[in-house]
Amino acid sequence: MASLLLLLFLAAITVTSQSYGSEFSIPRQIHLLRPQSGAAGSHVPGVTCLSWRLGVETNNIIGWKTVPAECEGYVGHYMLGQQYRADSKAITDEAFLYAQSLKPDGDGKDIWVFDIDETALSNLPYYAEHGFGADPYNATLFNKWVLEGKAPALPESLNLYRKLQSLGIKIVFITGRTEDQRTVTTNNLKKAGYRSWLKLVLKASSYSGKTAAFYKSSERAKLVSSGYRIVGNIGDQWSDLLGTNTGNRTFKLPDPMYYIS
């Protein structure tokens, strides 16, 4: 079942990236599955999967290690169905509307921060094979997947990236991926359609043991002290978006599969 879903997902991603240019090019008909509402989550004691997902997305439910086992099917249907993509598009559309409203200074100092995993790139092909976050995180297997360098773009993020660049806003990636993954990450971004950027910030070993929120805040502070204006910031984790120098506006993409503090 997971393999079939994965195949459908990959077909969707492929068709989308080939037909970039139209807002409506995402072949929704390929997403046969719809998110289940209500009943799907009734096995989780006290909390339905629907409420659990809202709690996660609003930063109410934090510090969780795995998706509740009873919600694996719900999360899988959500991620591979129409709703994840529709939710992502609503966010990136809103982000672009905001970006269009800005008065660019034209001094090249306007930047937009992108997270990478589940933001610029999608690891859904990996997670579809590993319980959509219901299996415990396995660093060895996940790093093996990262080193393959074949994560597809999240099409809505790629679309936003291109539109922001057309407005003269420069892109800075700040990722929890570590410095030793620079080459594979650079190649993966390019292969997925992200052809240029101002900076790609990877987690230096000096941040080892620090939270993503601390690391990302520290790196944003460096950008600001270099004279850049963070006009926007997009990520799938609240640790991308909270802290200091968060940016003039932040955009939270969906991610019901894992939590990073």
Q: Is 250 in the site for its own copies (CB under 8 A)?
A: yes
Q: Is 46 in the site for its own copies (CB under 8 A)?
A: yes
Q: Segment contacting its own copies (CB under 8 A): 68-76, 92-100, 142-150, 157-165?
A: 92-100
Of 61, 167, 184, 260, the residue at the interface with its own copies (CB under 8 A) is: 61
Give the span between the Cα atoms of 142 and 130, in whole angstroms.
10
Q: Is 57 in the site for its own copies (CB under 8 A)?
A: yes
For residue 77, how far is the Cα from the chain centroid? 18
Q: Is 100 exposed, middle or buried (0-12, 13-18, 19+ CB in 10 A)?
A: exposed
Q: Segment contacting its own copies (CB under 8 A): 133-141, 167-175, 177-185, 243-251?
A: 243-251
Strands (DSSP E) contained in the chain are 110-114, 170-178, 199-203, 229-235, 250-252
Beta bridge partners, 234, equal 114, 251
Q: Segment contacting its own copies (CB under 8 A): 45-53, 69-77, 179-187, 189-197?
A: 45-53
At 194 the three-state DSSP class reads: coil
What is the nearest approach in angstroms of its own copies to the Cβ of residue 102?
14
Residue with tokens 């539109």: 163
What is the nearest approach in angstroms of its own copies to the Cβ of residue 116?
19
Give the span between the Cα atoms of 37 and 20, in whole angstroms.
31
Of 25, 83, 143, 165, the residue at the interface with its own copies (CB under 8 A) is: 83
**Site residues (CB under 8 A) for its own copies?**
34-35, 37-38, 46-48, 50-52, 54-55, 57-62, 82-83, 86-87, 89-91, 93-95, 249-252, 254
